[in-house]
Amino acid sequence: MIQVTDIHKKFGKNTVLSGLDLSINGGGIFAVLGPNGSGKTTLIKSILGMVIANKGTIAIKGNSVKNKWRYRKEINYLPQIANFPGNLKVKELIRMIIDLRQKPNDSENLLDLFGLRPFLNKKLSTLSGGTKQKVNIVLALMFDSPLLILDEPTTGLDPAALIQLKKILGQEKKKGKTILVTSHILRFVEEVADEIIYLLEGKIYFKGTIQELREKTQQNDFEHAIATIAGHQPNNHA
Ligand code: ADP
């Protein structure tokens, strides 16, 4: 599904990705983890074509993404920070995105699952952070796409919404979808992820199952396993 080969990305003098290779073949939930500033968002944006790598190739379903944009129709993307026009009402924003994407959508069901009906006529600028994030999630998940890229979907969610999110991701996975997700909530990651992709110093430092991570770090507890891996970085900002 995703083939990233020898990607390099610098912002000025700051080298963020330096020869990163990543291969994701089948469906499943892949958690992209790493210390703050390790390049998780840069990697995700490179896959989406929103950041252009200095070197290397990215292919989705065998097709290079360079200078193409149509492949993005096959991706549902949840950005880390969604800047909505504050004057729009929730229902207007949802309508707008449905009109833009021109695909069948599951918004009605998702509005119920996340308890958003009472907010449909509210302006986006008046919503709490958590409610905005629920709207963000509805926008990202309402279309049927083979690849889902979710950058910090758990931010600000209350426990009920978190449970719904886990349920939906499980259902999407069962349909054979590929889901790339970042999250600071390690319990969430531990519950949903089939594989961990750990970024360090511009490369993939570890890719494997949670069990393999436990074995590699000799830590049974997932949080400790992640902390052990993070400890390998000289300048650990995590
Ligand atoms: P993460 O998602 O792992 O926290 P990011 O990919 O957001 O990391 O950022 C990695 C590094 O790249 C950081 O040092 C960040 O400041 C830098 N960076 C990201 N985007 C830009 C940009 N558009 N311009 C300059 N520097 C950037």
Ligand 1 binding pocket (C-beta < 6 A) is 11, 14, 16, 34, 36-42
Atom of ligand 1 nearest to the CA of 45: 6
- The string of pLDDT tens digits covering residues 192-230 is 999 999 999 899 999 999 999 999 999 999 999 999 988
- The string of pLDDT tens digits covering residues 51-107 is 999 999 999 988 888 877 778 888 999 998 778 889 999 999 999 999 988 888 999
CATH of 2-81+147-230, one of 3.30.9.10, 3.40.50.970, 3.40.50.300, 3.90.1150.10: 3.40.50.300
Return d(Cα 175, Cα 163) in angstroms, integer.
Answer: 19
Residues with Cβ within 8 Å of 221's Cβ and at least 6 positions away in sequence, in order, are: none
152: left (phi over 0), alpha (psi -120 to 50) or beta: left
Q: Does the model's pTM come out above 0.95?
A: no
Residue nearest to atom 19 of ligand 1 (CA): 42
- The string of pLDDT tens digits covering residues 52-62 is 999 999 999 88
Q: How far is the CA of 42 from the centre of ligand 1 (A)?
A: 6
Q: How far is the CA of 14 from the centre of ligand 1 (A)?
A: 9
Pocket test for ligand 1, best of 7, 42, 46, 201 (most atoms within 8 A of CB): 42
Tokens of 154: 């758990």
Q: Mean pLDDT of all residues in the chain?
A: 92
Listed by start position, the domains of the chain span: 2-81+147-230
